[in-house]
Amino acid sequence: MGRVSAFYDSLVGKKIIMAATGFILFGFIVGHLLGNLQIFLGAEPLNRYAAFLKSIGELLWVVRGVLIISFLLHVISSIQVALANRAARPLGYAHKKNIETNYAALTMQIGGPLIFLYVVYHLMMFTFLTTGPGYSHTDVYANVVASFKVPAISAVYIASMLLLGFHLYHGTWSMLHTLGISNAKSNGLRRALAPTVAVLVAGGYISIPVAVLAGLVG
């Protein structure tokens, strides 16, 4: 236990945990996106996929367990790191110019909680079916179409996915750096990877409500 607690006591250790759990959550985000994109194949494949996920039973709970634990570790360690960082400069500058950092990096602590709020809302709408216009337990396709036909629901969704894109933009770069996957030669590649990942993921998710609103799906 000593080794684990010494690791976790360290801000560097916490950052490595944030990076590793961030990677797991990122895996989920990509998997979920690929599942969702089946909506473009029609109602039948998407509903079959949804039924398949429900049918795997225990395994689904294992995956959910890993995700929930990763999520908790990600959030708790990030809050602890953020508090330590804030405490490290009790008196701020009258004038400070940032040169290298960007909006996405500086707003991780605002974007993160907002994404969390959206996830709760999203689960209520599509998993627990306690809000939103779609209520079928088997026809996922119909639920999605019915929800996104409501412009307000689509707007909130699109805004949240943009936030997610921002989070991934800094997150991808930061994760690779924190895990020490870096050398001068691959630096350009890693810099290019972050916007690519952010645009692909956010764009992929956003394409769904846009397609529904445009009448291409449904």
Residue ranges binding other proteins (CB under 8 A): 2-3, 6-7, 9-16, 81, 84-101, 105-106, 108, 170, 173-174, 177-184, 187
**Which CB atom, from 15 or from 47, has the smaller least distance to other proteins?**
15
Q: How far is the CB of 168 from other proteins (least distance, A)?
A: 14
For the bound state, the minimum distance from the C-beta of residue 183 to other proteins, rounded and expressed in Å, comes to 6
Report the residue number, 114 or 129, with the smaller CB distance to other proteins.
114
The closest of 216, 195, 198 to 207, measured between CA atoms, is 216
Nearer to other proteins, 68 or 181 (CB): 181
Shortest distance, position 193 Cβ to other proteins, whole Å:
14
Q: Work out how close the CB of 147 gets to other proteins at its nearest, in angstroms, rounded to a whole number.
A: 35
Q: Which is nearer to other proteins, 187 or 196 (CB)?
A: 187
Minimum CB separation of residue 4 from other proteins in Å reads: 9
For other proteins, the closer of residues 11 and 155 by Cβ is 11
d(CA 34, CA 36): 5
